[in-house]
Amino acid sequence: MTEEMAQARRLVAQAGRIVVLTGAGISAESGVPTFRGAGGLWKSHRPEELATPEAFARDPQTVWEWYSWRRGLIAECAPNHGHLALARLALGDTPTTIVTQNVDGLHTRAAHEAAGDTDPSPALPVEVHGAIDRDKCSLCAVRTPGATSVDTSSHASLPRCATCNGMLRPDVVWFGEALEPEILSRAFQVARDADLCLVVGTSALVQPAASVPLATLQSGGTLIEVNIELTPLSAEAEVSLLGPSGELLPELLDAGPAP
């Protein structure tokens, strides 16, 4: 075991309350592509170009094509050892809240898998960017379960709201849109209350989520980062564990008493 891992395990063992912030990197080993870095582009589009209300107004077919492709891909994926280690942590004795920027639902599936016949709710994530498997009406905002495969063959075939006939869109937060105020304030509250923040697989570039760990730091807590590369948050972290989260999280969280 590396000295960094030993130190990180001591910090976890000593923590009274933990917040976890995850990003796309935690799902990379499940086969869900990240947004940035290697494999981060889809048909040479950047997420900042497609995941916007303007892109949807201009070209809903292309935006739906991207989301339909992602829904299909995610439906084939399963939680990995990183999701499961976090779910077991949150179901354990130290109060822990998982805050995720991911819309893929894999933390929720891990919570159910790890809980078995017991209550999964302590391990259910606060999803600050929404959920890709839900639709939201762009007119009346009603939310409904979304189809895994959307017919994007023409503008007329795109999904419509059963209540008001408005255009349905994925229930995710796009660039330029505000996050749900209650969800956001819950994320920052649990970050302030925590004395340890575990930041996993996020480039820490997209605000306001990237500031969640800073709330823990500002209230006197510490930060552990798990990522395959350094990020803008690394300088703030007490320990940076460099490597894939599917391997490092079980070693960090499951390996018995801290050294």
What is the set of active-site residues?
Answer: 129
Using rule CB under 6 A, residue 56 touches ligand APR: no
Burial class (CB in 10 A: 0-12, 13-18, 19+), 238: middle
109 neighbors 165 (Cβ within 8 angstroms): no
Q: Is 159 in the site for ligand APR (CB under 6 A)?
A: no
Pick from 5, 214, 228, 258 the residue near ligand APR by CB under 6 A. Answer: 228
Residue-wise burial string across 193-204, b where 16 or more C-beta atoms lie within 10 A, e elsewhere: bbbbbbbbbbbb
CB of 164 or CB of 205, closer to ligand APR: 205
Closest CB to ligand APR among residues 105, 244: 244
Q: Binding of ligand APR at residue 231 (CB under 6 A)?
A: yes
- For ligand APR, the closer of residues 51 and 161 by Cβ is 51
Contacting ligand APR within 240-259 (CB under 6 A): 244-245
∠ at Cα 84 (81, 88), nearest 5°?
Answer: 135
Residue 239: other Cβ atoms inside 10 A = 21
Residues 12-31 close enough to bind ligand APR by CB under 6 A: 23-25, 28-29
Q: What is the distance between the alpha carbons of residues 108 and 146, in angstroms, rounded to a whole number?
A: 17
Asked if 202 touches ligand APR (CB under 6 A), the answer is: yes
Q: State yes or no: residue 47 binds ligand APR (CB under 6 A).
A: yes
CB count in 10 Å sphere of residue 76: 10
Nearest CB to ligand APR, comparing residues 15 and 173: 173
Nearest distance in Å: CB 71, ligand APR: 15
The angle at the Cα of 176, spanning 175 to 181, to the nearest 5 degrees, equals 100
Per the DSSP assignment, residues forming a β-bridge with 145 are 134
Nearer to ligand APR, 168 or 226 (CB): 226
CB of 164 to ligand APR, least distance (A): 27
Query: With respect to ligand APR, which residue has the nearer C-beta, 34 or 222?
Result: 34
Task: Name the E strands within the chain.
Answer: 18-22, 96-100, 126-127, 130-137, 143-145, 168-172, 196-200, 222-227, 239-242
Q: How far is the CB of 146 from ligand APR (least distance, A)?
A: 17
CB of 50 to ligand APR, least distance (A): 9
Tell which positions 68-87 bind ligand APR, by CB under 6 A. none
Placement of tokens 């354990």 in the chain = 92
Residue the block writes with tokens 């809980």: 115
Per the document, the length of the chain is: 259
Site for ligand APR in 91-120 (CB under 6 A): 101
Note the residues at the interface with ligand APR (CB under 6 A): 23-25, 28-29, 34-37, 40, 47, 51, 101, 129, 201-203, 205-206, 226-229, 231, 244-245
